[in-house]
Chains A and B, each alone.
Chain A
Amino acid sequence: MSYYKRDKRAWLVLSDGSVFEGYNFGCEGTTIGEIVFTTGMTGYQEVLTDPSYYGQIVMQTYPLIGNYGINTDDMESKRSWVNGYITKEWCEEPSNFRYSKNINEFMIDQDKVGIWDVDTRAITRIIREHGTMNGAITTEPVDDALFEKIRTFKVEQPVQKVTSQHMGWFYSQENRANHVALIDYGYKHNIRRMLLKLGCNVTVMPANTTIEEIRNLNPDGIMLSNGPGDPAENVQIIENLKDFIAYGKPIFGICLGHQLMALAMGGKTMKLKYGHRGMNQPVKDLTKDRVYITSQNHGYAVIPESIPESVGVMTHINLNDQTCEGFEYKNCHAFTVQFHPEASAGPNDTGYLFEKFTDLMERGQQGCL
């Protein structure tokens, strides 16, 4: 055919034994990962470069992917972290003033294996019914060995794989700025951009940062970023967090940061059947009796009952399944949300939370906390 790569067959293999035949795009080869689906209709570039997708094979439920190509501005990190990519259709001839390459070229650059022209809706239904499962994309014949590899696949220490190894400094244009320590568990660059836009200087710090390093930096506030994997596995990080809390500066946590905070406060997390991934998730702010549409990407959630009211109160819930979406802690200046107020991709409706954070830091600077 004269359009789209149809020269190479590819197969999507799920751990439940189902196999879907499609065509290969991106690189050839075999890749294994946890299969998740995301329902966003735009923002595929942000998805591909969001470190929270580390170790996962991501499927887009929206069928037409790559329509506006890949540009240089919308990277959420320096590279793509997904283990593979599934779409109904990808676009060879994108159209957008910012476009620099098409998605196939990007996948090849990033050494990613993709499959397209499969029944993405059937796959979504399987995951919805059976929960998130491992799977593989391969351009090689499917054999028992592959099933064995799929069965035993596990993501090891994902936060350590995606975090920065060194500190990074970013300065705002503002004169008198708050200084934020952004703990990088796999942060999306838009968190940094949002803080800079609000006049904060940002120091990005590795995931294993200790309280000593924080003390040396003496920031006005600590931002706990998003990131991949099961939060409870990050034992040392959780320990470090307890020290951060005691340090007394304002803390704002997003996604994994929210979960880690809950664990540091003595709470528990659980794995969701198939997670929340998309940008249409309604979240109710219980303190305001208002619902906001949010961008989400998580497979675990905080069990709200695991945190006593004396420690913290749940501030946000998901309107679809009533899971915990936000907490505010007592006796310290910490609040966290499960969703992504930095959006990118997704709605900007909860950007006000960043302002809440900067307000807290202002008050801290003035000694009014």
Chain B
Amino acid sequence: MPLRTDIKRVLVIGSGPIIIGQAAEFDYAGTQACKTLKKAGLDVILINSNPATIMTDKSMADKIYIEPLTLEVVRKIIEIEKPDSILSTLGGQTGLTLSMQLAKEGFLEKHNVKLLGADLETIEKAEDRQAFKDMMKEIGEPIIPSEVVTTIDGALAFADKMGYPVIVRPAFTLGGTGGGIAHDCNELREIATNGIRLSPINQILVEKGIAGWKEIEFEVMRDAKGNVITVCSMENFDPVGIHTGDSIVVAPCQTLSDKEYQMLRTSALKIISALGVEGGCNCQFALNPGNFNYAVIEVNPRVSRSSALASKATGYPIAKVASQIAVGYSLDEIVNEVTGTTTACFEPAIDYIVVKFPRWPFDKFVYAKRTLGTQMKATGEIMSIGSSFEHGMMKAIRSIELGFETLSVQKLMDESDERIMEMLHNTDDERAFVVYEAIKRGVSMEHITEITKIDMWFLDKLRHLAVMEKDLAEKGLTPERVRVARELGFLDKTIEELSGQKIEEAEKQYASFKMVDTCAGEFAAQTPYFYSTRDKENEAALFIEEHPTGKERILVLGSGPIRIGQGIEFDYCSVHCAWALRELNYEAIFINNNPETVSTDFDTSDRLYFEPLTKEDVWSVVETEKPIGAIVQFGGQTAIKLTRYLEEMGVPVLGTSPKNIDAAEDREVFDQLLEACDIPRPQGETVFTTEEAVEVAERLGFPVLLRPSYVLGGQNMIIAYETEDVVEYMTIITSNELENPVLIDKYLMGKEVEVDAISDGENYLIPGIMEHIERAGVHSGDSISVYPPQTLSDKIKETIIDYTGRLVKALEVVGMVNIQYVIYHDEVYVIEVNPRSSRTVPYISKVTNVPMVNLATKMMLGHKLIDLGYTPGLQPESDYVAVKVPVFSFAKLQDVDTQLGPEMKSTGEVLGVAKTFSDALYKGLVASGNKMERSGGVLLTVKDRDKDGIIEIGRQFHELGFEVYATVGTALVLNEAGIPAKVVRRLAESKPNIGDLLESGKVNYVISTSTKGRMPQNDSVRMRRKSVESSISLLTSLDTAQALLECLKSHRTIEDIDMVDIKEI
């Protein structure tokens, strides 16, 4: 069937900000969808609140609304744009749920809008627990005994009948939010309460636990003719019980015989056919390891994180094909773009093994509960491709960038045998490492399987790695051992370190590369991508030889897994860099390992290498591609870290020189540079020991800011208000090896301002200055950022431009630089200079119309700003105000303190764009999930330093008609100032207390600040957690509160505010 004739104008709903459970995979899917629809000649209208995405780029759609993803907004845009259809299956759960609600309320029918991909009936069958059960029963597919309940008593009754443990899954929540495993009635009571509340329809599923069954996934496709195929099968290293997003996953399935494989494959095809999905669908199964029994666990009638993984694992672009199917094409009419000669109607055959490894935020959130269960906690993931499981696993370990080269972790090596045996029972992020440690200590495979239920096959493979590690250390090097170790995925560096011997220079051999081509070599490929192996034949080299272009090649280093502090923004930049290089007629060679992103789409670059970003892995690519230069400015700290090695390999680093990159990162050199430029910075020094730290802190005067040098995302940063804080911090930080010193700065409580500048070495361009709402001390990534600045005087702006110019010159910046300033008592101080692109680049590019990455790339290659048609200096300010609001994933991370501070905590961001500041802010706040209730209650509880400030806040809430609640100290201050405030008892005090108040639903906002944070048992931390878990808007800075109040006072709603097509800016 060709393109449907009844579709001309399609609305695509994106997935919004990056949160745990809904990340960059939807930018990848959405970008593919938009490109596909446009190519089919359709008008594309896009709504997505996330500005850091490729899909919201101006070239991606005809109309682009970076607006809040709420029903009101989508309705309004449908009324303005009059689309004839909605593609609901590419925007994650957000897109699907919005589409479903609009369809249900009859809005779509009224406006003659068709649902593409999955109709209402399909969505309901998959999403509604009872409807799903009924359908499964009808088609004879087994499910786990379960019951849909809406009350706690119902849940308890089911568990009594079936026995514990039981698993709770709330309906219509994302990444399993609010679910969990209950081992007894107390746990069930707690989880069920939470789950029922979090479910938008107050419904949960309670199911019998099936611990120890294998977890298997299939990605399947179906077209309107009824053709069905499976793209990929995946097997979880961890048995059922741990969310697949938090599991190590391999593709294809490894431990299933053809009979088991076909049984599940057939079931998946039966399900997608019964659902009537037109596009992609994900089916998750539990398989009894002891017989042929299985059960369908979950079905998602849309593209997902797993489908992104399956696409990258096989070369089959699920989202692209799903979009083509949605507008009418059948599978056999769609071309397989990797081979160029076959169609999309086939099943990829792969001739390698893929390992996916999650990246968790526990290095940032040291007090978070690390236990893994049905609720996803990983912020990102990496994918590695190897010729064996061992090979893939070793690459995976390097790719997650936790500093490991093998599965051996020093911390675990120091533990006692007893402790390791105990730890085997934990299902947390360290599990694979603990298992490995147990294997190394000789614990029997049977025993480990019995405890962990991890399949013996995986354990045996880990044992091979352990044996090799031991042999290298104990038996030394032989040519044979080196060869096998390399085949197992050990780096030469690791082999040398473990054995204490050197591999002869002459013996050093870079890795070869093989293709990902969807067909295991059966057909020649046009646009393959590559992974390294230790085979002799280097297919990448052959491919280059067979496809001569005469173009010079440039290496672009990607940013690896998405983590807090290094998010999708860097992928956005890397992609634009590759595009710019191609525009300039270079071949863009990409190295990255993140399967979720646009950068690892096979047609983004000329050639893609799916590899870890380490020195040796990069070396092999360099030897194969022989690039004329490398670009490190767009891959975040991951790429910057490789600068030195590239230089050692003789690859010119394009743009700002490695020496100057270092100058910006090295504290002492940087201090000298600032002095030479005559630019003030907050006083500070570097220290190595606790004693030094205390001495310096006392000399500078409190508060002081402490942080390790070389960081991104403010990792391990604190503000210390007294000596005790310094000691606590230094004790933690010195417990790990201290390679780099700790920086202590005088902390200035001023206004933070940020600029991104581009320079060609002579002239520089500042697209815009951004001003933060929260005063310094809240990490810039967690602050609300406003462009253009609303409160800066011309003098301050001029100073900022002047300082920026001086720094650009001094650092001889070519390409990008990000500079953060603090304005304190009308003085401008520099806090930080990052000689690379930053997380604000995508949004500033979009609102100022300056294609920053494109320009920066051109400048790195010698183009001049003036020749490119730009006037140096600060660009004229836009008529629009853009407000970037951070988004957090606190609901998914138990025990994490939500108090904002110098350590970054947000996982994503949204943008509000409007003609006025308050409208833009309003949009931003709504987009980030604030309900913006204009009446109800507010709870105030602040630290002593904020007591003065809270009076005004309290007064405004009171004047707006809010009921004001406060803890004793805060209430006292408020009442003395004439603001009526009801005293609430703290959590630790007798009931009724704050806990009851939060549960009562009487409170819409909580404003809480405290000096001491982090420790989960702290009363204020628990109170803030309770607010987050009760879905109450929580503000931890008075500056944010004041901004919110401005919006509430304006009395404007989405109805009153114009929607902005950013292409009109």
Total interface residues on A, CB under 8 Å, equals 57
Task: Name the A residues within 8 Å of B388 (CB-CB).
Answer: 63-64, 88-89
Q: Contact check: which of A41, A91, A349 meets B349 at CB < 8 Å? A: A41
Evaluate whether A346 and B522 lie within 8 angstroms (CB atoms) in the complex, with A63-B387, A319-B342 already known: no
Q: How many Å lie between the Cα of A94 and that of B331 in the bound state?
A: 37
0/1 string, A114-136, CB within 8 A of B gives 1: 00010111101100100000000
Determine if A121 and B349 form an interchain contact, defined as CB atoms under 8 angstroms apart.
no
Task: Name the A residues within 8 Å of B350 (CB-CB).
Answer: 41, 62
Evaluate whether A320 and B342 lie within 8 angstroms (CB atoms) in the complex, with A95-B457, A119-B536 already known: yes
**A45 CB to nearest B CB, Å:** 8
Determine if A63 and B351 form an interchain contact, defined as CB atoms under 8 angstroms apart.
yes
**B517 CB to nearest A CB, Å:** 10
**A76 CB to nearest B CB, Å:** 11
Determine if A94 and B457 form an interchain contact, defined as CB atoms under 8 angstroms apart.
yes
Q: Contact check: which of A2, A96, A278 meets B522 at CB < 8 Å? A: A278
Q: How many Å lie between the Cα of A96 and that of B254 in the bound state?
A: 10
Determine if A121 and B484 form an interchain contact, defined as CB atoms under 8 angstroms apart.
no
| Interface presence of B724 (CB below 8 A) | no
Of all chain B residues, the one with the shortest Cβ separation from A63 is B387
Q: How many Å lie between the Cα of A45 and that of B261 in the bound state?
A: 14
| Interface presence of A347 (CB below 8 A) | yes
| Interface presence of B1065 (CB below 8 A) | no
Q: Contact check: which of B258, B515, B537 meets A119 at CB < 8 Å? A: B537
Of all chain B residues, the one with the shortest Cβ separation from A3 is B464
Determine if A121 and B255 form an interchain contact, defined as CB atoms under 8 angstroms apart.
no
| Interface presence of B291 (CB below 8 A) | yes
Q: How many Å lie between the Cα of A124 and that of B480 in the bound state?
A: 26
| Interface presence of A255 (CB below 8 A) | no
Of all chain A residues, the one with the shortest Cβ separation from B522 is A39
Task: Name the A residues within 8 Å of B464 (CB-CB).
Answer: 3
**B457 CB to nearest A CB, Å:** 4
| Interface presence of A67 (CB below 8 A) | yes
Determine if A282 and B345 form an interchain contact, defined as CB atoms under 8 angstroms apart.
yes
Of all chain A residues, the one with the shortest Cβ separation from B233 is A41
| Interface presence of A169 (CB below 8 A) | no
Determine if A121 and B521 form an interchain contact, defined as CB atoms under 8 angstroms apart.
yes
Of all chain A residues, the one with the shortest Cβ separation from B542 is A125
Determine if A290 and B536 form an interchain contact, defined as CB atoms under 8 angstroms apart.
no
Of all chain B residues, the one with the shortest Cβ separation from A97 is B290
Determine if B353 and A293 form an interchain contact, defined as CB atoms under 8 angstroms apart.
no
**B1024 CB to nearest A CB, Å:** 46
User: Number of residue pairs across A and B with beta carbons under 8 Å?
Assistant: 165
| Interface presence of B229 (CB below 8 A) | yes
Determine if B349 and A39 form an interchain contact, defined as CB atoms under 8 angstroms apart.
yes
Determine if A278 and B537 form an interchain contact, defined as CB atoms under 8 angstroms apart.
no
Q: How many Å lie between the Cα of A95 and that of B464 in the bound state?
A: 15
Determine if A64 and B389 form an interchain contact, defined as CB atoms under 8 angstroms apart.
yes
Chain A CB within 10 A, most for which of B257, B342, B457, B521: B257
| Interface presence of B269 (CB below 8 A) | yes
**B779 CB to nearest A CB, Å:** 45
0/1 string, A162-193, CB within 8 A of B gives 1: 00000000000000000000000000000000
0/1 string, A336-359, CB within 8 A of B gives 1: 000000011111110000000000
Task: Name the A residues within 8 Å of B289 (CB-CB).
Answer: 97
Q: How many Å lie between the Cα of A193 and that of B261 in the bound state?
A: 18
Determine if B254 and A67 form an interchain contact, defined as CB atoms under 8 angstroms apart.
yes
For chain B residues 864-880, which have a beta carbon within 8 Å of chain A?
none
Of all chain A residues, the one with the shortest Cβ separation from B455 is A95
Q: How many Å lie between the Cα of A279 and that of B348 in the bound state?
A: 10
For chain B residues 489-531, which have a beta carbon within 8 Å of chain A?
514-515, 519-524
Q: Contact check: which of B258, B331, B455 meets A345 at CB < 8 Å? A: B258
Task: Name the A residues within 8 Å of B351 (CB-CB).
Answer: 39, 61-63, 120-121, 124
| Interface presence of A46 (CB below 8 A) | yes
Q: Contact check: which of A46, A117, A120, A281 meets B258 at CB < 8 Å? A: A46
Evaluate whether A40 and B349 lie within 8 angstroms (CB atoms) in the complex, with A95-B457, A289-B225, A349-B269 already known: yes
Task: Name the B residues within 8 Å of A1 (CB-CB).
Answer: 471, 480-481, 484
Determine if A93 and B460 form an interchain contact, defined as CB atoms under 8 angstroms apart.
yes
Determine if B262 and A121 form an interchain contact, defined as CB atoms under 8 angstroms apart.
no
Determine if A278 and B349 form an interchain contact, defined as CB atoms under 8 angstroms apart.
yes
0/1 string, A142-177, CB within 8 A of B gives 1: 000000000000000000000000000000000000
**A199 CB to nearest B CB, Å:** 20
| Interface presence of B265 (CB below 8 A) | yes
| Interface presence of A54 (CB below 8 A) | no
Determine if B537 and A74 form an interchain contact, defined as CB atoms under 8 angstroms apart.
no
Task: Name the B residues within 8 Å of A319 (CB-CB).
Answer: 332, 342-343, 345-346
Task: Name the A residues within 8 Å of B341 (CB-CB).
Answer: 320
Task: Name the B residues within 8 Å of A89 (CB-CB).
Answer: 387-388
Q: How many Å lie between the Cα of A346 and that of B228 in the bound state?
A: 15
Determine if A348 and B266 form an interchain contact, defined as CB atoms under 8 angstroms apart.
yes
| Interface presence of B922 (CB below 8 A) | no
Task: Name the B residues within 8 Å of A95 (CB-CB).
Answer: 255, 455-457, 460
| Interface presence of A42 (CB below 8 A) | yes
Task: Name the A residues within 8 Å of B480 (CB-CB).
Answer: 1, 6
Q: How many Å lie between the Cα of A319 and that of B345 in the bound state?
A: 8
0/1 string, A60-99, CB within 8 A of B gives 1: 0111100110010110000000000000110101111110
Q: How many Å lie between the Cα of A279 and that of B258 in the bound state?
A: 11
Determine if B521 and A124 form an interchain contact, defined as CB atoms under 8 angstroms apart.
yes
| Interface presence of B259 (CB below 8 A) | yes
0/1 string, B224-246, CB within 8 A of A gives 1: 01111110000000000000000
Task: Name the B residues within 8 Å of A258 (CB-CB).
Answer: none
| Interface presence of B747 (CB below 8 A) | no
| Interface presence of A248 (CB below 8 A) | no
For chain B residues 236-278, which have a beta carbon within 8 Å of chain A?
252-259, 261-262, 265-266, 269
Determine if B387 and A293 form an interchain contact, defined as CB atoms under 8 angstroms apart.
no
Of all chain B residues, the one with the shortest Cβ separation from A117 is B487
Q: Contact check: which of B252, B256, B537 meets A122 at CB < 8 Å? A: B537
Task: Name the A residues within 8 Å of B347 (CB-CB).
Answer: 279-280, 293, 347
| Interface presence of B158 (CB below 8 A) | no
Given A89-B387, A93-B456, A293-B346, 6 additional A-B pairs, CB 8 A: A1-B480, A6-B480, A63-B351, A95-B456, A278-B520, A319-B342
Sample of 12 A–B contacts (CB below 8 Å): A42-B258, A45-B258, A64-B353, A95-B455, A95-B457, A121-B351, A121-B514, A289-B225, A293-B230, A344-B258, A347-B265, A349-B269
State the 9 A-B residue pairs at the shortest beta-carbon distance, nearest first. Answer: A43-B258, A95-B457, A124-B521, A280-B347, A61-B520, A39-B349, A345-B258, A122-B537, A119-B535
Chain A residues at the B interface, C-beta cutoff of 8 Å: 1-3, 6, 37, 39-43, 45-46, 61-64, 67-68, 71, 73-74, 88-89, 91, 93-98, 117, 119-122, 124-125, 128, 278-282, 284, 289-291, 293, 319-320, 343-349
